[in-house]
Amino acid sequence: MRGRYRILLGMAAGVGKTYRMLQEGRQARDEGRDVVIGYLEPHDRPDTIALADGIEQVPHLQAEHGGLELNEMDTDAVIARAPELALVDELAHTNADGMRNAKRYEDIDEILGAGIDVISTVNIQHLESLNDTVLELTHVRVRETFPDRILDEADEVVLVDLAPHALHERIRAGKVYRKDRVDAALSNFFRLENLDALRELALREVAEDVGARRESDVLDPLSRQAVAERVLVLATPGPNSQRVLRRAWRSANRLGAELDVLWVRPPGRKLTAQQATSLAALKRLVIILGGHFLEQESSHLVDTIKRIVKERGTTYVVLGTPDERRRIEILRGSLVSALVRELPGIDIRIVANRADREESP
């Protein structure tokens, strides 16, 4: 029997996720449950270290990376210890090279598979489908991400909330970062406008999660099947396709829809090294988000899209802002116009390029 998974979600570092995890662990221990810490990242915070005192900690694995000695969770040791509940911090963490799993959420999946309950922590900016949104809001590209399905598959997602001004006070008091890092933190990622935006994202994510779970409980499988939706993303081997895909996935997730990604390769076309890299990254992202990548070779773009829409039962088509000159649109008609004409009854959505909006006069 698989263990139960509880995720504590926050808007940013310092809101109290790890502290809450330890509090819940201590309470479970006091109630007679067998509890261990699989991995803890206290960040030298005295209150957190004190709260962990008295809870058994499974020894870490030592791994070397770039001449540095790193601590990683010993997943096998946690499973061998076989507690009732394991506390595992920072599920989006990337493991050191050479570890069996690349990411900590994969380690957690093994622990759950062994029948052990897990409480874990994560911040909203690490959610894969929000990667571009977080960049637009904070001007910081988050490199460590985790698939949205992790939240969907968890038994419970709980928001650990703190008002942005209260978090600022904690940072200024040195309770989150060392004193020499406070000014840099407050003037960069932890600006109040950033925290307000991240808090809104976290609140919305938990609200949508609660709504989706309630709908799943209410709707029976037959009624869900009767209103089934399917989203098709039109992709190109360029960096913009990842942003379009993330936006489309968010829409598909709200609809409870399957997601397909289609690239129509012109016959004989050879990709540049940069395009090949972008395409490979796009395929990896499709896998992470749980979509289906389709590649077709054809010189008839619209006809191919029309055929795939029919075969896959597509109800929504999503594409980025078409890169077409006005002269071509006047002479031959745009791709969007052709899709509207050839796909009656299909919703078509264009994901705008935020950079274009910012550059416009």
Tens of pLDDT, residue by residue over 98-117, are: 899 999 999 999 999 999 99
Tens digit of pLDDT for each residue in 152-172? 899 999 999 999 999 999 999
Quote the tokens at residue 190: 């932890």
What pLDDT is attached to residue 251? Answer: 87
**What pLDDT, in 10s, does the model give residues 44-54?**
888 899 999 99
Do residues 139 and 187 touch, judged by C-beta distance below 8 A? no
Q: For residues 245 and 293, give the distance between their C-alpha atoms in angstroms, rounded to a whole number.
A: 11
105: closest CA among 149, 60, 150?
150
* Closest residue by Cα to residue 118 from 86, 93, 90, 89: 86
Q: What is the pLDDT of residue 95?
A: 93
- Ramachandran angles phi, psi of 123, nearest 5°: -100, 150
pLDDT reported for residue 224: 43
CATH of 5-217, picked from 2.30.30.90, 2.60.120.10, 3.40.1260.10, 3.40.50.300, is 3.40.50.300
Tokens standing for residue 264: 């129509």
Residues of the chain with CATH 3.40.50.300: 5-217
pLDDT in the model for residue 68: 75
CATH number assigned to the domain covering 223-359: 3.40.50.620
CB neighbours of residue 129 within 10 Å: 22
Q: What is d(CA 135, CA 243) in angstroms, rounded to the nearest whole number? A: 11
CA distance to 247, 315, 321, 352, per residue, from 251 (Å): 7, 12, 17, 14
pLDDT digits (tens, 9 = 90+) for 190-203: 999 999 999 999 99
Q: Which residue has the higher pLDDT, 268 or 325?
A: 268
> What is the model's pLDDT at position 215?
53
Residue 40's SS3 state is: coil
Report the pLDDT value the prediction gives residue 107, as an integer from 0 to 100: 97
Question: pTM higher than 0.95 for the full model?
Answer: no
pLDDT tops 70 at residue 281: yes
Q: Which secondary-structure segment (H or E) carries 117?
A: strand 117-123
CA distances for 62 relative to 25, 52, 99, 341, angstroms: 25, 21, 10, 60
Q: Where in the chain is the domain with CATH 3.40.50.620?
A: 223-359
> What is the identity of the amino acid at 140?
V
pLDDT band for position 229 (50/70/90)?
A: confident
Q: Which three-class secondary structure state does DSSP give residue 149?
A: helix
